Amino acid sequence: MRSALFALILMVCGVPAVTAQTLQPILQTYAGEIAKPSRKSVGETIDAIAASGLPQVTVFLEQWSEKNIWQRNDGIFFVGTAAGDSLTITDVDTEAKTTAAKSDFKQLKPNGGVRRLIGTALVQFQLMDPDLSRRETAVASIARRPEAAQLAPLLASIDGEVDANLKARKTQLANFLSASFAKNTEDRIAAIDSLSTDTSVEARAVLNQILTTTTGVALAAPEGNIAATLDPMLDAEQSYTALVDANLAAPKQTGGDIKKALEANIVNGRIAGFPLGQMDDPMVRQAAYTALADAGLVPVLITQEVRDAELSKHVFYKVYDEPNVEVTIAAETARKSADNRVATAQFADLTLDALSLASIFFLAAIGLAITFGVMGVINMAHGEFIMMGAYTGYVVQLFIPNYTVSIFVALPLAFAVTFIAGVVMERLVIRRLYHRPLETLLATFGISIALQQLAKNVFGTQARPLTSPDWLAGAWVVNDIIQISYIRIAIFILALLFLGLIIYILKRTRLGLEVRAVTQNPGMASSMGINPDRINMLTFGLGSGIAGIAGVAIGLYAKVTSEMGSDYIVQSFMTVVVGGVGNVWGTLAGAAMIGFGQKGIEWLNPSNTLAAQTYMILFVILFIQFRPKGIVALKGRAAGD
């Protein structure tokens, strides 16, 4: 990479090198300093070389810093590559290559400090380099290790920048650098103020860098840019440790120290006159230790009173590393406002997360809600239909390697597979158990257990991948904080699609009309010529089919396992129960409530998703107390038990 770049530079710089002035004489003027550079004085030399403005300068400085410059016996400098005893040398001006014996040359090895100075000088050349990728590299290297000296060349390079993106980046970076390094206070404060609207991690790092503090302790507050004085009693133990570390107080004995001291001072089975047998009492231990301390055998016991007295004598403070008060005040203000913006952005990000979780719950629960609403039947195997859909997606991918095509094949196929499974189950089991809802619950349990184990036997216990197509990989990044993966967006869209589809079916089609009729009053519907058996079968199939689709969607971002159904089933039930039975909007409200609730609790206690689920379930149990029929309850006679 490096040599490729080098070749590129040679090509670019090669043409003008013939006509332009030569570099070697300048080098010879400073030969002594170049051969044996010292960090203190080499700056002048580098400036002089750079001031020549020759295109060869970049190459020379780079090679110098890379330890590739060799000096011949007669004092002439060359770029050289050693191979065994021979050396391929390149003239710094003409770039003519020759081979020579290594023994006639001496390699220049500038030390780290000098190389850093060379690097800084190089930046201004690289920033103006005609090659875009080299300019980008230079900008990236500044961003990685910002230094005061880079500010001027960076500012100088902004006007000449032709690439719009890089120009913006350079401006931003220049802003960061001026916030930290600008010579006069006004410039710094202006730069800092502009950072208050920047929520990027970098900008906040710059502010934090300016606001770094050192904690200290002294008898009186020192001069300097004091950030705050601290109350030592907030964490007395830790404050005392700081005091001890600063050599301002004697260390406090731990229980172990006291024990050791006591053990070391046993005389005839007694410690300071106290018998050993009484040493299981902490008060006796303390008395014995105090007696030993009075006798001068051990250091004085630091009791809590002594500790607190010591603490109150000293000042605990935090002092800014930045001496300029105006700058730190501006930076504090900027950080506070940036923090507010970050908090807002985090809230937005959380809202997006919650929305995506809610849409998953909606997809998982809507099928359940339909069957429950229409038939009063709870299908415990619903989770296994989700799993079945996911495995269908996996199997399709085995046959169709193109992920985009396979997803579009998998979605309808998953629907078909689970639709058929649902219809079969309805005809074989559910139909025989109408009006015995608890028995239905149990029978579907049995099916769920059997299906889960069956999947385990067929596909094994390890998780199977369901790979999303490339155009769904990655995430939509708004800024450093707000980002959401495309799969989640796709699931959200899918959920919206199904919401629309189901509402269309229920409100606009003959089937929907009949379904609604059966939901409200099966007896009356039947007497109007609707065949409830057929409606039940189709509804059950529809509910199961949607579970299959949800399975594909869930499988895309989570792994496909035989147990994935049981991960969603209880949440789905919660969604249905909270939302209210037999109403699509209810399920939507339920899903939104569970999704947002769970994310909200996670936000309060970010490290613990398990706790979030626990509290969410407790919340649902309590919620049912106040709205036993859910958020959207059926009204009128249909609501009868």
Partner 1 sequence: MERTFIAKNPSVLWFLLGLSVFTLLVSIFSEAAGSAVISTSFLKTLGKTLCLCLVAIAMDVVWGYCGILSLGHFAFFGIGGYAIGMWLMYARTKDIVVGSLENNILPPTPDEVTTAIGSQIFGVVGSSDFPLIWAFSHSLTLQLLAVVLVPGLLALVFGWLAFRSRVTGVYLSILTQAMTLALSLYLFQNDTGLRGNNGLSGLQNIPGLEAVSQATLSLWFFWASAFALGLGYVFFAWMLAGKFGSVIRAIRDNETRVRFLGYHVETYKLFIFTTTAMIAGIAGALYYPQAGIINPAEIAPIASIYLAVWVAIGGRGRLYGAVIGAVVVSLMSSWFTGGSAPDINLGIYIVKWTDWWLVLLGLTFVAVTLFFPKGIGGLFDLISSRQEKQQ
Residue numbers at the binding site for partner 1 (CB under 8 A): 255, 259, 262-263, 266, 276-277, 279-282, 285, 378, 429, 432-433, 437-439, 441-443, 445-454, 456-457, 566, 570, 573-574, 577, 608, 610-611, 613-614, 617-618, 620-622, 624-626, 628, 641
Q: Least distance to partner 1 from the beta carbon of 453, Å? A: 4
Could you tell me the two tokens for 377? 């039947």
Q: Least distance to partner 1 from the beta carbon of 58, Å? A: 55
Tokens 């919620």 -> residue: 623
For 546, residues 6+ apart whose C-beta sits below 8 A from its C-beta are 363, 366, 367, 370, 415, 498, 502
Helix axes 532-557, 486-508, angle to 10 degrees: 170
Smaller CB separation from partner 1, 288 or 491: 288
Q: Least distance to partner 1 from the beta carbon of 614, Å? A: 5
Smaller CB separation from partner 1, 487 or 634: 634
Q: Least distance to partner 1 from the beta carbon of 490, Å? A: 29
Q: Least distance to partner 1 from the beta carbon of 623, Å? A: 10
For 212, residues 6+ apart whose C-beta sits below 8 A from its C-beta are 320, 321, 322
Helix intervals (H) in 376-402: 382-399
Q: Measured between alpha carbons, how far is 419 from 245 in angstroms, rounded to an integer? A: 72
Smaller CB separation from partner 1, 227 or 455: 455
Q: Least distance to partner 1 from the beta carbon of 281, Å? A: 7
> CA dihedral defined by 331, 336, 341, 344, rounded to 10 degrees?
160
Q: Least distance to partner 1 from the beta carbon of 371, Å? A: 12
Smaller CB separation from partner 1, 259 or 341: 259
Smaller CB separation from partner 1, 332 or 563: 563
Contact 306, 257 (CB under 8 A): no
How far the first Cα of the chain sits from its last, in Å, is 76
> CA dihedral defined by 33, 38, 40, 43, rounded to 10 degrees?
50
Helix intervals (H) in 267-381: 282-294, 304-313, 325-375
Contact 483, 349 (CB under 8 A): yes
Q: Least distance to partner 1 from the beta carbon of 34, Å? A: 59
> CA dihedral defined by 92, 96, 97, 98, rounded to 10 degrees?
-100
Residue 87 to residues 58, 107, 571: CA-CA distances in angstroms?
A: 22, 11, 73
Smaller CB separation from partner 1, 249 or 447: 447
Contact 455, 392 (CB under 8 A): no
Q: Measured between alpha carbons, how far is 423 from 427 in angstroms, rounded to an integer? A: 6
Q: Measured between alpha carbons, how far is 145 from 36 in angstroms, rounded to an integer? A: 27
Smaller CB separation from partner 1, 45 or 444: 444
Q: Least distance to partner 1 from the beta carbon of 3, Å? A: 51
Smaller CB separation from partner 1, 262 or 631: 262
Smaller CB separation from partner 1, 65 or 571: 571
Q: Least distance to partner 1 from the beta carbon of 262, Å? A: 6
Smaller CB separation from partner 1, 121 or 443: 443
Q: Least distance to partner 1 from the beta carbon of 633, Å? A: 13
Q: Is 4 exposed, middle or buried (0-12, 13-18, 19+ CB in 10 A)?
A: exposed
Q: Least distance to partner 1 from the beta carbon of 174, Å? A: 47
Smaller CB separation from partner 1, 254 or 527: 254
Contact 244, 250 (CB under 8 A): yes
Q: Least distance to partner 1 from the beta carbon of 221, Å? A: 37
Coil vs helix vs strand at 629: coil
Q: Measured between alpha carbons, how far is 251 from 495 in angstroms, rounded to an integer? A: 64
Strands 315-320 and 213-218 come out as antiparallel
Q: Least distance to partner 1 from the beta carbon of 577, Å? A: 6
Length of the chain (residues): 641
Coil vs helix vs strand at 14: helix
Q: Measured between alpha carbons, how far is 287 from 271 in angstroms, rounded to an integer? A: 10
Contact 279, 218 (CB under 8 A): no
Smaller CB separation from partner 1, 222 or 277: 277
Q: Is 596 exposed, middle or buried (0-12, 13-18, 19+ CB in 10 A)?
A: middle
Contact 65, 122 (CB under 8 A): yes
Contact 242, 217 (CB under 8 A): yes
Smaller CB separation from partner 1, 154 or 620: 620
Q: Least distance to partner 1 from the beta carbon of 439, Å? A: 5
Residue 150: how many other CB atoms lie within 10 Å: 23
Smaller CB separation from partner 1, 150 or 379: 379
Smaller CB separation from partner 1, 488 or 599: 599
